[in-house]
């Protein structure tokens, strides 16, 4: 009975969500086709759809997609390596935690994207400045969650392992790591999200290539329908990537 | 039990937390000496914060005392001795991300038991504590009593001569506690283990122990040792016997004044830093 009611509720809320999206599209359609909103401000949804099909079938998005994904992958890989390493080292000493945890948390709370002009100055307009910025931004959630994960391991578990003769390696592999993993994984997920956000965002501000770059070019060329098609494409790519990362996180937690 | 055969020798052990000038300073244990005989079950009982858990940790090598020494089998204790001493903690000392079986195997892995022996030993210990059907459950899926049985199985699998138990049933309800106590008595009658058992419960102490060491209020030291002459395994009927009641009352009288002192002391100190 209870399960059935939950199921009905679930279907009902799904229906509302889908209905909301449909209404939004209907409004968009009416605004452009009936109410005469300027197509330079808001292109027709059907024109956008045709453009999207064209973009997908020609594969012209591939070079830009490759640039953006490479930047994200590089930034995330560097941030994961450095963030977990630094986080682990800091978590081993109360003194280091007291010094560095507030420092990292403080830097994490400021909008690092403001330093983009500096990064461009140092690393140029190409992918390097995007990778550097993405790394910086995603380093902080990763290092903070790693510190939190390793420093909050239940003391009694460590004591129990020590009493049974666990070596340093065994303590890390069988006690500290599994205890800290769920917290670290959620930090990795956040790190990935902000790396993706900041890299695409900075491509729209100052860059030579990438999906964000392409969208701005289309905007400057007043090619609104195609720009909307590209935005939709990037939204889908971002949703897919975040979905993959969330699934991996859930898997890791289950272990 | 051959009398006079000493398994653990505690010589003049004292311990304080923090420095004398600090606000956190606590004298947990004053000059304490004690011989624990091979094969006996010794209960440590006393008011909260009297240092009985501190003494247990010192014996197990988890805590270096401020003064004095502990010898196990003639060797001074300088750190954990996983081949000689196993622990059962108060609660939640099982690794929550591992099943009961994996927990037991991890203990043996840490201690250095050959891998081929893991499975048979683990099964045998699970059977001994009555948890065979729950080998592949996670600790979170078990009741508090079952978790402590699993923790006991993990300790038994290490096959140490000495077992240190720090209020292992402290977080359980009275009835579960009673049953676990009876089972423990049966289990231990079959092994030759030397056991030190910290408890708050007078009944538990009399029911389980060969000797009960009563602690004074902080800084704790052993005030008196009471002998319980009753063979293991103890019959549940022992609880209703006159002997049990007499011993329990004697313990109560000894403890009552100390508990009063401890309460007055903690009131004065504004509850500054009780030892866990």
Q: A54-63, A146-155, B131-140, B214-223 — which is least confidently predicted?
A: B214-223
Report yes or no on B180 lying in a domain.
no
Report yes or no on B234 lying in a domain.
yes
pLDDT for A77 = 97
Q: With an 8 Å Cβ cutoff, are B158 and A164 in contact?
A: yes
Q: Are residues A149 and A23 in the same domain?
A: no
Answer yes or no: is the ipTM higher than 0.90. no
Q: With an 8 Å Cβ cutoff, are B110 and A170 in contact?
A: yes
The secondary structure element, H or E, covering residue A239 is helix A224-254
Q: Are residues B98 and B149 in the same domain?
A: yes
Number of Cβ atoms within 10 Å of the Cβ of A12: 10
Q: Are residues B204 and B76 in the same domain?
A: yes
Nearest CA in chain B to A159: B62
In chain B (276 residues long), the average pLDDT of successive 10-residue segments reads: 73 86 80 90 86 91 91 89 93 92 96 93 92 93 92 94 91 85 84 89 90 86 88 85 90 84 68 44
pLDDT in tens, B27-83: 888 888 999 999 899 999 988 777 888 999 999 999 999 989 999 988 899 999 999
Residue ending a domain, among B159, B183, B217, is B159
Residue A101 maps to which CATH number?
1.10.3720.10
Q: Are residues A82 and A191 in the same domain?
A: yes
Predicted confidence (pLDDT) at residue A157 exceeds the cutoff of 90: yes
Residue B56 maps to which CATH number?
3.40.50.300
pTM: 0.82
Report yes or no on A193 lying in a domain.
yes
Report yes or no on A13 lying in a domain.
yes
Task: Compute the nearest-CA separation of B138 from chain A (Å).
Answer: 12
Residues of chain A with C-beta less than 8 angstroms from the C-beta of B86: 163-164
Q: Are residues A108 and A143 in the same domain?
A: yes
* Contacts with A95 (C-beta within 8 Å, 6 or more apart), sequence order: none
- Number of domain units in chain A: 2
Report yes or no on B37 lying in a domain.
yes
Among B82, B98, B109, select the one facing A163 at the smallest CB separation.
Answer: B82
Report yes or no on B183 lying in a domain.
no
Using alpha carbons, select from A134, A22, A146 the residue that is nearest to residue A83. A146
pLDDT for A10 = 87
Q: With an 8 Å Cβ cutoff, are A163 and B85 in contact?
A: yes
The whole domain housing B245 covers 1-80+162-168+193-276
Among B61, B87, B106, select the one facing A174 at the smallest CB separation.
Answer: B106
Nearest CA in chain B to A164: B82
Q: Are residues B6 and B49 in the same domain?
A: yes
- State mean pLDDT over A6-26: 90
Report yes or no on B109 lying in a domain.
yes
Nearest CA in chain A to B62: A163
* Contacts with A48 (C-beta within 8 Å, 6 or more apart), sequence order: A225, A228, A229, A232
Q: Are residues B24 and B41 in the same domain?
A: yes
Predicted confidence (pLDDT) at residue A41 exceeds the cutoff of 90: no
Residues of chain B with C-beta less than 8 angstroms from the C-beta of A174: 95, 106, 109-110
Nearest CA in chain B to A178: B97
Q: Are residues A171 and A204 in the same domain?
A: yes
The whole domain housing A240 covers 58-254
Residues of chain B with C-beta less than 8 angstroms from the C-beta of A164: 80, 82, 86-87, 106-107, 110-111, 158
Among B82, B90, B92, select the one facing A164 at the smallest CB separation.
Answer: B82
Q: For chain B, give the secondary structure using H, E and C.
A: CCCCCEEEEEEEEEEEECCCCCCCCEEEEEEEEEEEECCCEEEEECCCCCCHHHHHHHHCCCCCCCEEEEEECCEECCCCCCCCEEEECCCCCCCCCCCHHHHHHHHHHHHCCCHHHHHHHHHHHHHHCCCHHHCCCCHHHCCHHHHHHHHHHHHHCCCCCEEEEECCCCCCCHHHHHHHHHHHHHHHHHCCCEEEEEECCHHHHHHHCCEEEEECCCCECEEEEEECCCCCCCCHHHHHCHHHHHHHHHHHHHHHHHHHHHHHHHHHCCCCCCCC
pLDDT for B275 = 43
pLDDT for B152 = 93
Task: Compute the nearest-CA separation of B164 from chain A (Å).
Answer: 11
pLDDT for B2 = 44
Q: With an 8 Å Cβ cutoff, are B87 and A160 in contact?
A: yes
Q: How far is CA B131 from the centre of its chain?
A: 21
Nearest CA in chain A to B63: A159
Q: With an 8 Å Cβ cutoff, are A174 and B95 in contact?
A: yes
Report yes or no on B44 lying in a domain.
yes
**Residue A254 banded pLDDT, cuts 50, 70, 90:** low
Predicted confidence (pLDDT) at residue A2 exceeds the cutoff of 80: no
Using alpha carbons, select from B139, B238, B137, B223 the residue that is nearest to residue B186. B238
- Number of domain units in chain B: 2
Nearest CA in chain B to A156: B93
- State mean pLDDT over A68-88: 96
Question: How many residues make up chain A in this entry?
Answer: 255
Q: Are residues B17 and B147 in the same domain?
A: no
**Residue A1 banded pLDDT, cuts 50, 70, 90:** low
pLDDT for A40 = 81
pLDDT for B194 = 92
CB B199 within 8 A of CB B43: yes
Report yes or no on B101 lying in a domain.
yes
Task: Compute the nearest-CA separation of A176 from chain B (Å).
Answer: 11
Task: Compute the nearest-CA separation of A183 from chain B (Å).
Answer: 14
Report yes or no on A184 lying in a domain.
yes
């Amino acid at each position: 009975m209870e399960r059935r009611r939950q199921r009905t509720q679930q279907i009902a809320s799904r229906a509302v969500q889908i209905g909301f999206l449909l209404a939004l599209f209907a409004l968009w359609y009416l605004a452009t086709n009936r109410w005469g909103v300027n197509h330079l401000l808001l292109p027709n949804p059907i024109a956008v759809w045709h453009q999207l099909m064209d973009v997908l079938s020609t594969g012209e998005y591939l070079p830009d997609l490759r640039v953006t994904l490479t930047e994200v992958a590089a930034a995330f890989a560097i941030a994961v390596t450095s963030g977990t390493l630094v986080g682990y080292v800091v978590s081993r000493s109360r003194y280091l935690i007291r010094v560095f945890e507030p420092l990292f948390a403080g830097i994490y709370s400021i909008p690092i994207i403001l330093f983009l002009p500096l990064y461009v100055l140092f690393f140029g307009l190409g992918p390097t400045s995007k990778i550097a910025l993405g790394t910086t931004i995603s380093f902080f959630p990763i290092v903070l969650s790693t510190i939190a994960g390793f420093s909050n391991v239940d003391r009694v578990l460590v004591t129990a392992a020590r009493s049974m003769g666990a070596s340093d390696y065994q303590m890390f592999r069988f006690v500290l790591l599994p205890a800290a993993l769920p917290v670290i994984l959620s930090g990795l997920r956040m790190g990935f999200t902000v790396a993706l956000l900041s890299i695409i965002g900075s491509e729209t501000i100052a860059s030579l290539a990438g999906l964000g770059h392409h969208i701005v070019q289309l905007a400057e060329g007043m090619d609104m329908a195609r720009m909307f098609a590209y935005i939709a494409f990037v939204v889908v790519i971002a949703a897919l990537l975040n979905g993959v990362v969330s699934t991996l996180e859930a898997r890791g937690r289950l272990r | 039990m051959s009398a006079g055969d000493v398994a653990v020798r505690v010589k003049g052990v004292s311990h304080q937390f923090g420095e004398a000038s600090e606000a956190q300073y606590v004298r947990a244990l004053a000059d304490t000496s004690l011989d624990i005989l091979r094969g006996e079950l010794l209960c440590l009982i006393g008011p909260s914060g009297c240092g009985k858990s501190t003494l247990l940790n010192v014996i197990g090598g988890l805590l270096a005392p401020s003064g004095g020494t502990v010898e196990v089998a003639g060797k001074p204790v300088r750190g954990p001795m996983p081949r000689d001493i196993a622990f059962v903690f108060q609660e939640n000392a099982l690794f929550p991300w591992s099943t009961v079986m994996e927990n037991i195997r991890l203990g043996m892995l840490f201690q250095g038991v050959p891998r081929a022996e893991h499975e048979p030993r683990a099964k045998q210990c699970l059977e001994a504590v009555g948890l065979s059907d729950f080998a592949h459950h996670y600790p979170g899926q078990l009741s508090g009593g079952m978790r402590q049985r699993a923790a006991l199985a993990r300790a038994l699998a290490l096959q140490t001569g000495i077992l240190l138990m720090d209020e292992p049933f402290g977080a359980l309800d009275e009835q579960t506690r009673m049953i676990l106590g009876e089972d423990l008595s049966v289990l231990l009658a079959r092994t030759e283990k030397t056991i030190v058992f910290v408890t708050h419960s007078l009944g538990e102490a009399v029911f389980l122990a060969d000797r009960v060491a009563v602690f004074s209020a902080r800084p704790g030291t052993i005030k008196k040792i009471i002998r319980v002459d009753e063979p293991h395994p103890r019959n549940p009927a022992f609880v209703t016997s006159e002997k049990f009641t007499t011993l329990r009352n004697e313990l109560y009288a000894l403890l009552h004044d100390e508990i009063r002192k401890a309460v007055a002391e903690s009131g004065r100190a504004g509850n500054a830093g009780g030892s866990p």
